[in-house]
Amino acid sequence: MAEVEVAPRIVVDDAIHPGRPIIKGSRIPVSLVLGSLSAGLSPSEVARQYEVAEEDIRAALDYARAVAEQETVPIAVE
């Protein structure tokens, strides 16, 4: 499978990380970016550490927001 863009600056490339969204032009998974941000790194620190642009960090956050927006969580009513 070729690289497939799933959002601006975010792709899935089975040759790199099968089925996992990554920053386009890198091997950096979106989940790694999100984890680094939740661990307390600033967007500029994450961009510097993984050698991606700050726009890529914002794209990863926007992608995560879009995915969460589509999710529904069933709640059992007793």
Q: For residue 24, what pLDDT is reported?
A: 97
Q: Are 60 and 46 in contact (CB under 8 A)?
A: no
What's the chain's Rg over C-alpha atoms? 14
Q: For residue 34, what pLDDT is reported?
A: 98
Strand, helix or coil at 76?
coil
Tokens (6 digits) for 52:
């991606």
pTM of the model: 0.89
Q: For residue 23, what pLDDT is reported?
A: 98
Q: Which CATH number fits domain 4-70: 3.40.50.620, 3.40.50.970, 2.160.20.60, 1.10.10.10?
A: 1.10.10.10
Tens of each residue's pLDDT in the chain, 78 residues: 689 999 999 999 999 999 999 999 999 999 999 999 999 999 999 999 999 999 999 999 999 999 999 999 999 888
Q: For residue 78, what pLDDT is reported?
A: 80
Burial profile 2-17: b = 16 or more Cβ within 10 angstroms, e = fewer: eeeeebebbbbbeeeb
